[in-house]
Structure 1
Amino acid sequence: MKALIALLLALLSLPLAAQDSMPPAPYAYKQLEDPGLEARARGLMEELRCLKCQSQSIADSDAPMAGDMRHQVRIRIAAGEDPEAIREWMMERYGDYVSYAPVVSRLTWPLYAGPLVLLVIAGLLLWRRFRRKA
């Protein structure tokens, strides 16, 4: 019985081992030959978050997923795509969290409006309190 469980665990862990043993994408660690294009790609990579590390940009992360994202950025920059279009594509694919420059949308506007509402409420409460004392 123990041997059967060990065999099942070994078989279930094979996909995990295969994920990291795959070779990196060609442009994961190789820079573009044109320095201008590489600078544009590098600038965008600094603004995109690694989803696995979550505290590093894809330019700084060594995670395989970040390598794949760097590859996509470099391929698209080399093809002449605009960095902002690439950022939008990444955000569509991975969600708004991937960008260090968040956008205001129907889902994120409360994050921007919340502090302002709290500031107005605090101001009204202070005004009301000081008005009573006077």
Structure 2
Amino acid sequence: MQLVLAIVTITLALVFYTIGVFAERRAGELKLKHLGLFALGLVFDTTGTTIMSGIAKTEPVTGITLHQITGVLAILLMAFHLIWGIYVYFKGSSQAKHTFHRFSLVVWLFWLVPYIAGMVVGMKH
């Protein structure tokens, strides 16, 4: 049951983050609703990752994997993305609000690495 919950929450992270990134891109300017979607993506990803970590602790330790490293880096990058987005939204220039989507796309693309790796690893089990 925990595995299903982890998969659902991480998939919700994908949905919210993807909608946020591409809605921001389409709007051409960072808006508060985009920050909300980024925050939801971060919360769901962190929740799913925490659940998955709990599941992984029940398996024999084989060392830290590339999937784990990229997963942690992706969460940190998402958190930085959200914090930087909040700063840009409230204190940034108009230009910064219009170009923030470039950073969003880079973060989203990086986030896909552990998401896809997790699917691949999961399929092997």
Which TM-score applies when normalising by structure 2? 0.28
Bigger helix share: 2
Which TM-score applies when normalising by structure 1? 0.27
Higher relative contact order (CA 8 A, sep 6+): 2
